[in-house]
Amino acid sequence: MKGVSGNKKNRKWLVFTIMCLAYMPGSYAQYQLSVYAPELIQSFGLTTSQFSSLFTAPMIVAIFLSFVGGMISDKVGSKKVINISFVIAGIGMIGRVFANSYMPFFLCMALTGFSNMFVNINASKITASWFEQEKLGILMGIFAFCGQLPGAFATATTAVLFDSRTSAFIVSAIFCISVFVLWLLFVKDKPEDTMEEREKIDQENQPSIGDSLKVVLSNKGVWLVSICIMMALGSTVTLSTFMPMALQTMYGIDMKVCGTIASMLTLGNCIGSITGPIVFSKIKNVKVFVSGAAVLSFAGIIMCWRFPSIFVLHILVLYTGIMLGASMPIFLSAPVLLEGLGTKYAGSAAGVISTLQLLGAVLIPTYILTPIAGENYSLLFMLASICMVIMFLCGLLLPQFGNNQK
């Protein structure tokens, strides 16, 4: 029995590790583009907005397909849909090598986003099937942390490691295919000792599309979590996008230094995604944790750009990143932990949350805040802080979920 238990324990960590790896190829391929922006703009004859559309193509696909993808996952199973998504993403990554104009490249970039979209939707569902519920928050924190690594790695190393975009794109395709092979060989939706029993139950209780729509869209917690994560992402993307320009314009700081200051936000997000669930496990109250994180994030956004001292700016932006990132794993765990959902409806719930998450990242900075603020960065960051006020109010209304439900 000890041998069987040990094998199961080792297997679940293997499944989780491969799931984290599966979250990386799409982001790695996407962030390679930032390095080759001047080359792509010149060789394809692109406008700045066209290049921006290439970079955001995977996110646009996820915005429109996440909810439907979540319902399909609940209906046919996580592994099956992720298998298909990796085939689609692999086609996109291979296609990038041969694309020689805007539209084919745009379509290929859209396809590369499929694997990340379906892995993100199903992450909490798969993790909850293998691990104890009380570990879900910390594990989703690790998952969120892993999701941020490929972008940073691609941005920092692509120009150093590769002498052409073709070789870089080939390596990203090989990376995608390699992870897919590991996924096929070692990942299962559920532990083997419960597989047959669960499959019988699942076949009898698989939700219909209509049932999924009714249950998920009528769940107050799903909408509150979705609005919270939408506000958090909107603020984060606004800061990371405009912080370098704001610091250079307002204080005359060298652009390279501005870049390192802005990078503290991403580093803080990574730290927050790990430390947040640990703090939450001590507080054990969703309302207090989320609303508290919103208040601390509000203070960080207000302060982090007001001091011309480079050292102080590094510290304050790092602090703000930690506060903004702390709640993310809790939000990512919600599809499984919210009352009335569980693993049965987790895919559909994650689809709704993921859709609003991406809408926050794309719409709030680009189409809401910047048209209002223009080049007035003081007003822009003030508006970003108001997102935290909305998150605070929604946090106060959140239902308790997880092991601490009352």
pLDDT one-digit tens code per residue, 350-360:
899 999 998 98
Do residues 354 and 121 touch, judged by C-beta distance below 8 A? yes
Over residues 220-248, the mean pLDDT reads 90
The yes-or-no verdict on residue 322 having pLDDT over 50 is: yes
Residue from 125, 154, 169 nearest 351 by CA: 125
103-119 pLDDT per residue, tens: 999 999 999 999 999 99
The yes-or-no verdict on residue 93 having pLDDT over 50 is: yes
Give the whole-number percent of the chain exceeding pLDDT 90: 44
Q: Which of 106-115, 244-253, 312-321 has the lowest mean pLDDT?
A: 244-253
Note every long-range contact of 46-55, with CB atoms under 8 Å and residues 24 or more positions apart, other chains counting: 46/102, 50/102, 53/106, 54/102, 54/105, 54/106, 54/109, 55/30, 55/109
Between CA 83 and CA 106 the distance in angstroms is 23
Give the whole-number percent of the chain exceeding pLDDT 70: 93
pLDDT at position 201: 45
pLDDT at position 17: 94
The yes-or-no verdict on residue 379 having pLDDT over 60 is: yes
The yes-or-no verdict on residue 173 having pLDDT over 90 is: yes
The yes-or-no verdict on residue 404 having pLDDT over 80 is: no
Do residues 201 and 351 touch, judged by C-beta distance below 8 A? no
The yes-or-no verdict on residue 405 having pLDDT over 80 is: no
- Count of helix runs (H) and strand runs (E) in the chain: 18, 0
In the structure encoding, which two tokens stand for residue 74, read together? 């609940």
Over residues 221-226, the mean pLDDT reads 95
- What is the residue-averaged pLDDT of the chain? 87
Over residues 361-379, the mean pLDDT reads 87
The pLDDT confidence band at residue 5, using thresholds 50, 70 and 90, is low
Instruction: Identify the structural domains of the chain with CATH numbers, from first to last.
Output: 2-206 (1.20.1250.20), 214-404 (1.20.1250.20)
Q: Which of 50-64, 184-198, 228-242 has the lowest mean pLDDT?
A: 184-198
DSSP state of 369: I
Residue 104 CB neighbour total at 10 angstroms? 14
The pLDDT confidence band at residue 84, using thresholds 50, 70 and 90, is very high
Q: Phi, psi at residue 284, to the nearest 5°?
A: 60, 35
pLDDT at position 406: 42
